[in-house]
Structure 1
Amino acid sequence: MSQVSGLSTLSSHRISTSCHILCLHEEIIRQLFAYLPSLCDKVRFACVAPKFRHVFNSWARARKHSLDAEDVERMQLPDIIDFFKVAGPYITILNVNCASFEKESLIVEFIAEFCKNLEEINYTNVTDEFRYRILLSRLARLRRVSIDCMDAEDVLNFDLEGNPDLESFELINGCYTGKHLCGFPKLQRLVLRDCLLWNSGEFGIPLKNLRILMLDDCCFEVMNHSLYQKIAECCEKLEELSFSGCDASFEVIAQLPNLQRCTLKTWMTSNELNLGFLTTLAEKKGNMLEYLKLSGQFEISNEHARCLGQLSSLKEMHWSDNDVLDDDHFKFFNDLPVLRLFGLSWCGRVTDIGLMRLIRKCPQLNRIDLKSCDQITDQFVLNAVYCCGKSTGRELLLNVEGTRIGNTVLTHPEYLSPQNKVKLNFTNVVI
């Protein structure tokens, strides 16, 4: 009898401590929203009751939310209406896979009407039909736009003029006519990658606040000196510059007073490599240049190396795809006091000797990334251990891939010594 009484009491206690879902504390409901995987699921939960809708509003207001256009395309029209009424004001990022749409979608109307706070759109698989492009003209608060095309010959037509706060524009594998990006006072980042560029004279460079300009592997139908000169004259605040396949880009660099990061990729001959810009940079001791990457099969003379060795503000230097760079060039790296990272990839003539010269000449160097450099051996690691051991407190990280350095060096007595300051890391490091 006492056992029955006890079970009855326990059952009564359980009933008394149960709680209807609508009686849950708002903080618990807030946590439930965090566990739901997609924004669509969160909105369905918010529509269950006014209390949930109220909590959703306060929860969503404090976060940035992204939407994949395909997710709402599958919904029925009443659900689409409910979704945008609830979530529209809080969506800041839109992702559109244009290959998923055979015609302009009704969803465009809902986005334009309800997503007034949209700041970023990322388009992929874009063609010259360019589904969803009308959004660019109907929205007014866009700050970042990325367009990834299927074919570089697709000429894109779009209008961004209604978005004066545009800060970043990126076009990949498309055709750019130079007319779409003029007059944006807040544009700070312009990326054109694998693009066909027409009418370079109309290139939208009068951008006083541009800080990042990347022209990677672009094909200019008409190329002239005026484009580079326009960059030098108009982009006074430019901090990061990346050129690929542009044979006149070098002379621009020395005229940019705030440039901190520079990547140059070219396939030049020794006669085409402009020594003037290196000489000017050397005279300025690199000015503010902290990052430099040189890539391509161009000739490098001792005079070039001497100028590079005087860029005293450099903190990172990278070489890639150059079979002309050799050990003797490192003799001239005499004035790189703050160089901390050196990257070398696909450079087959540099040996242990050249890298040891670099270590001795650069007292702050604490990281070297090596990829596909088949003349670098175990002896380089052991020499670095000895060199760094003589410098009190100097540590060095070696990230290596595709060299002749083997795992056996990790068991060498000098490497295992407590005084060793060198760490060897076999990794697929991106250089």
Structure 2
Amino acid sequence: MEQVLSNKNDKSSNGNGVLVQCIQVTYKKTPVYSLRQYFRQFGAFRNFETAYDLNPQQLEPIKRLLITYVEQEAARRVLQNESHFVENEIVNVKSTNSRQELVKENVCETERENLEIAHTREKAFNILQLPEFCIHAILERMAPGDQIRFVQSHRSFQTIFETFSRRKYKKFIWNKTQSMTMGEIRDFLSIAGKYMVELNGEIRNRYYDDVMNLLIVYCPNFEKVTLSDIYINPDSFRNFLRGLPNLRELNLTYYQLDERAFAALRDAKKLRVLKLSNMFHIRGKHLQTLTQLEHLSLHHCWLVRSKHLIKLCEALVNLRTLDIRGIHYASPCFFQVIDTHCKRLEVLKMCAPEFNYDRVALLPRLKHLEIKYPTPVDRLTIISHLAQHKADQLEVLKIYTRKCLTDKDVTSLSELRELRELSIAFNRDTVTNGALAKLCKLKQLEELTIAACDEVTDDGLLKLVKNCEKLSTLNIQYCNRITNDFVTDVASLARHRYRKLTIYTFGTAVDKKKLIQLPKYKEAAERFGLNIEFEFSKTGLSDYEYVFTLFENELLERRLIARGL
């Protein structure tokens, strides 16, 4: 008797005080898959079915699910809260006895809703009476400027906005403040600033010194800062850096700063990543004091001198990543000592100099190597040295050049047994079916870029896919001998593969209109993770600038010749 009485006011019991196992879920846009994953954490399902849409003529019809749990305790845990937050949407739950009860309720649901709408129109609407999750939903659809103006309309909203900011603004894009006044920016940062740990964007406000001061005062917890394309007062920048004790990563692009401004980073003991790109005043002299760095990028900081690079590598004993692409003044002296000073270096991105740099292959921990060739070359000696010294260690190799690989180089590549990513695009004379047969030895290969290698055919590529079972990304753009037959054969293999496969086919003979009508392709795309990208993509091609320009000129010449012009 006590049990029945105690359950009468329990959300997990029916009107008779009996515990139920069925719950009804009301939602609008949340995917059924996400709902299944969310409600499964409360307990095992006996039944899970989509019930029906209420008022399907509406722009956003209300949908329902009926979930029956194996245990009553699972339903009780769900019903402790009437509302749940799934995929940025509020979903409501309530107890129900059976599907029959749900069907009966559906008969008069439309009439009931119409009566409720008419009744609410008679009453004056008061936004202050809305529950907190509704205010969160309103704020979610507003820009930061509109949010702060809305919050300033009533003091009760400020506490709600504080809770909202704790979740929403851990990562903040500064460009969203362009329409805000300085007063609104100050009020916004005073509430949300202390929760921000990552800042991205461009500070284009004409009062940039005042903006930096506001960031110093209200945003002390930044761990990652990425800013670009601005001239800023060095003193303001130094003060900004000094006010970030938790800074771990700093990324700057197109900043007109003297490197002495980075002296303030000496006290940033947690700083591990510094990426500077297209900063033409950087020479490298003062960066060697940042001994805490593990990842350093000087991409297109072309005034950096070799003597400073040597001192940098000697001082930064924990350096694991170094990007020196676009540095034109690296001398033979630097490459003669790189394996001595960079004993922990795992990732190296560089532009190939005109002199010998084969000692790169002697780096003790090298796993990732990218080499960009600013001008065409006749021969690559680095590949054979990598096969000799790093066959069981190198995981990523990207060579950005054109028509320079030889059959011997391909044989050396096939000996890099741990290779996971390989980019050798625009080598049409060497990368043929025979070359792909050699690359079938790379059992760990996950990503391959062979764009514009138009000697490759369906059979050669299919053999590679069969042998490299871990392959997940294949860029074959402009391989014009690849047809729909290759894709359909891969679709047949998809059911037996354990990984999803994305293939970039722009510029090939793959016909999208015909392919999407094939049942075999549809099944592989929907069930087995086969993804064919038909539009042009820069994936794997972003560092082939001059190569791609030459290739496009070749394509234009071929078209003109074909037309007899």
| Alignment-derived partner of residue 261 in structure 2 | 158
| Alignment-derived partner of residue 141 in structure 1 | 246
| Alignment-derived partner of residue 214 in structure 1 | 323
User: Per-residue deviation at 1:304?
Assistant: 1.9
User: Per-residue deviation at 1:357?
Assistant: 5.7
| Alignment-derived partner of residue 293 in structure 1 | 398
- Counterpart CA distance in 2 for 1:67 and 1:410 is 40
User: Per-residue deviation at 1:110?
Assistant: 2.2
Do residues 34 (structure 1) and 130 (structure 2) align?
no
Normalising by structure 1, we get a TM-score of 0.74
Do residues 370 (structure 1) and 476 (structure 2) align?
yes
User: Per-residue deviation at 1:401?
Assistant: 1.4
User: Per-residue deviation at 1:198?
Assistant: 1.7
- Counterpart CA distance in 1 for 2:333 and 2:412 is 24
Kindly provide the amino acid, as one letter, of the partner of residue 108 in structure 1. M
User: Per-residue deviation at 1:200?
Assistant: 3.0
| Alignment-derived partner of residue 224 in structure 2 | 120
CA contact under 8 A between 1:200 and 1:220: conserved in structure 2? Answer: no
Aligned with 2:441 (options 315, 319, 335): 335
Kindly provide the amino acid, as one letter, of the partner of residue 348 in structure 2. L
- Counterpart CA distance in 2 for 1:19 and 1:389 is 59
Normalising by structure 2, we get a TM-score of 0.59
Counterpart mapping for 1:318-357 below 5 A: 318-327=423-432, 328-333=434-439, 335-351=441-457, 354-355=460-461
Over the matched positions of the two proteins, sequence identity in percent amounts to: 20
- SS of match in other structure, 1:371: coil
Deviation string for 1:79-128 (max 9, x for gaps)? 55544433332333444635553x75223222222221233333222348
| Alignment-derived partner of residue 6 in structure 1 | none
Kindly provide the amino acid, as one letter, of the partner of residue 365 in structure 2. P
- Counterpart CA distance in 1 for 2:185 and 2:471 is 57
Aligned with 1:201 (options 294, 307, 318): 307
- Counterpart CA distance in 2 for 1:109 and 1:411 is 56
- SS of match in other structure, 1:382: helix
Do residues 382 (structure 1) and 485 (structure 2) align?
yes
- Counterpart CA distance in 1 for 2:496 and 2:322 is 39
- SS of match in other structure, 1:393: coil
Do residues 106 (structure 1) and 214 (structure 2) align?
no
Gapped runs of 5+ residues in structure 1?
Answer: 1-9
Counterpart mapping for 1:301-320 below 5 A: 301-320=406-425
Counterpart mapping for 1:7-46 below 5 A: 20-38=126-144, 40-46=145-151
Distance 1:336 1:72, change over 3 A: closer
- Counterpart CA distance in 1 for 2:353 and 2:174 is 36
- Counterpart CA distance in 2 for 1:356 and 1:252 is 34
Higher relative contact order (CA 8 A, sep 6+): 1
- Counterpart CA distance in 2 for 1:334 and 1:355 is 10
User: Per-residue deviation at 1:34?
Assistant: 2.8
User: Per-residue deviation at 1:344?
Assistant: 1.0
User: Per-residue deviation at 1:178?
Assistant: 1.5
User: Per-residue deviation at 1:211?
Assistant: 4.2
Do residues 234 (structure 1) and 342 (structure 2) align?
yes
CA contact under 8 A between 1:211 and 1:237: conserved in structure 2? Answer: yes
- Counterpart CA distance in 2 for 1:76 and 1:367 is 46
- Counterpart CA distance in 2 for 1:300 and 1:423 is 30
Distance 1:256 1:321, change over 3 A: farther
Distance 1:99 1:15, change over 3 A: closer
- SS of match in other structure, 2:209: coil
Distance 1:127 1:104, change over 3 A: closer
User: Per-residue deviation at 1:23?
Assistant: 4.9
CA contact under 8 A between 2:491 and 2:524: conserved in structure 1? Answer: no
| Alignment-derived partner of residue 393 in structure 1 | 496
- Counterpart CA distance in 2 for 1:258 and 1:19 is 66
Distance 1:76 1:348, change over 3 A: closer
Deviation string for 1:222-256 (max 9, x for gaps)? 42343574466435162x43223445555324524
Do residues 68 (structure 1) and 171 (structure 2) align?
no
| Alignment-derived partner of residue 8 in structure 2 | none
Distance 1:399 1:91, change over 3 A: closer
Distance 1:407 1:185, change over 3 A: same
Aligned length, in residue pairs: 406
Structure with a larger share of its residues in helix: 2
User: Per-residue deviation at 1:309?
Assistant: 0.5
CA contact under 8 A between 2:175 and 2:202: conserved in structure 1? Answer: yes
CA contact under 8 A between 2:177 and 2:185: conserved in structure 1? Answer: no
Kindly provide the amino acid, as one letter, of the partner of residue 301 in structure 1. T
Counterpart mapping for 1:168-183 below 5 A: 168-175=273-280, 176-183=282-289
